[in-house]
Structure 1
Amino acid sequence: MQLHNKLSKEEALKKLHAESFKRTTLSFYRYVILEDPQSFRDALFLEWDKLGCLGRIYIAREGINAQMSVPEHNLDAFKEALNVRVELKDMPIKWAVEDDGKSFFKLIIKVRPKIVADGLDDGSFDVTNVGKHLSPMEFHESLDDPNTVVIDMRNHYESEVGKFENAICPDVDTFREEIQMVVDDFSDKKDNKVLLYCTGGVRCEKASAYLRHHGFNDVNQLHGGIIEYARQIKQLGVKSKFIGKNFVFDERLGESIDGQIISKCHQCGAPCDTHTNCANDDCHLLFIQCQSCREQYQGCCTDECKDIIALPQEERILMRSKFHDKYSKSQIYRQRIRPKLNHS
């Protein structure tokens, strides 16, 4: 009984590109107590692997957070399998806006302490006392109120390529940093109407409860996140108040919502919203790079990384520990990439 995908990345990609059927990218989450997360995880892997599902799924005692690619011909069977389980019954599913069917190449299901790393002690506040869930159109209309405080609960690299009009986008690398920063920095806005949003809604669940615990009186969150907002306004023919691209955590790294490009290449400053990972695997920094700079730097974030990938493998291995000791990914971005962007 195989409970893990054992294909290499190259083998998995080759298999994916050889498929003759279409796939649908979707996501969902639910906070629900799972008494035995490991057994739950193993059972899901067997079910979903049999259906040809791919994706990245996190399971914890507090629930499930899933981003997946499902063969179109197995969508009904997949939804039926969800409904058979009481923990997943009637699951609200978010559907991708732009979907080439190549969002994931493996089925990876991991058991973790939490479905989103937030650094919070859940026993210190009521995690079920969440904010008011606003439908996409309710959220859309609330954005016009000048007394509202609109806060993007995502990381800086997500909001850099796309955000709601007039949103406050904290300059943070992780949700763990942001959730406490928001409480501290907006302590004078506890009587204002607060609008929270994130990619699919899961981060706002915990964030809204934490804000309410700290005395914020009117906390609201975008139900279904940016993904559901984009889908509904497209169906209704309404002009989007989200500008730019929605960053997503799969091989696509983003889906355009309104066609605008609001960010710049981190190396030359040209308009660009294409994220990539540095070709130096010992760095692998996520950054924005235009095609011209991609060719110039050979897919690397700096000349230093470009020099490293040109070295023989043996020398790269010897340099690896020194590189990691000298730089963290946030240091690379803030000390070496951002100054170039600011200068441009």
Structure 2
Amino acid sequence: MHHGMLTIYKEAGYTSSDAVARLRGILRMRKIGHTGTLDPDAQGVLPMCLGNATRICELIADREKEYVAVMRLGIKTDTQDMSGNVLFRMEDDEMLSRLSTEERIRSAAASFVGEIDQVPPMYSAVKINGKRLYDMARKGITVERKPRRITIYSIRVEKIEPPLVTMRICCSKGTYIRTLCEDIGEALGTGAAMQSLLRTRVGQFFLGEARTLDEVERIAKTSPEELPLLIRPVDSFFEDLPAGICAADALRLLKNGNPLTTEDLSFPGPSSDPLVQTGASRESQDRTGAGQTENGFSTAERSASGEIPPRAPLPGLNPADKVIRVYDDRGVFYGLYVKKQRQNRFTAYKMFLPEG
């Protein structure tokens, strides 16, 4: 069984669940989960968690996303993209007269940067009273939806060729780019719908490393020994956290997920402070060069739209809590441990016990 994260390029025509089902068949394993849905017509980065990495599906889904969206001005549909029924269409001459300058488009887009409230679309997987909104929408039912607080970290308008506008957007979990396009269209007074969507990044998972399901299937059939090269080790997701090495005489405690004292751990490097030290598993070091993570990407790398937002505290923890990755003396990753304020020991936070 494989353990780790595989960055899939989801092609149009697949749901995220379809992609999981097909990957299960390709890899011949059941324990696979995806890290957040992409609309069937959308394409791009869809990280998959394999084996014990399924324990971090939600953590990956919580990371910021980056998209390249093409917005069509002068139109409004019931789905907020071009797959729906047209509710309104503006003549090109009238639309161009309302836009006046490219700067007006850029200013309208920029006005949505920051924390904003966004109403989820009717054609979405959001549940109200146990029912999916898209199921109600298909029956012609519209219900009131409460706005949700999201964050747009950046919007960069890359191309303006009316009626089409191409934007690169970095945003928080839960953002509907279709809705953002429609809202920008409303701000411009022209209406708008999303024409296409490409997800280029989820956290530290980038488009450049993504593989289509056809590619993965070909490798699995013709060169199965190359499959592990596509899979990131679980600990690479936590590469920004300091690393501790468990002493041999405390390994029994580690294997059982028992608390560890500072005497049970060592922190390699010039400082013994676990807040200062970082490290990588021996597996990660063997597969990458200095300063790189798997596939040549690093969380220090900038996204195309700006700096990657810092990781939020892990669920249930405070910023003051010290979280470390714990390995045995052979470099095998066991899990995350946390030392809370006013405690003198580390307790297990999330374990990824190796097989065998």
TM-score of the superposition, structure 1-length normalised?
A: 0.30
Look at both structures and tell me which one has the larger radius of gyration over its CA atoms.
2
Larger relative strand fraction: 2
Larger relative helix fraction: 1
TM-score of the superposition, structure 2-length normalised?
A: 0.29
RCO higher in structure (CA 8 A, sep ≥6)? 2
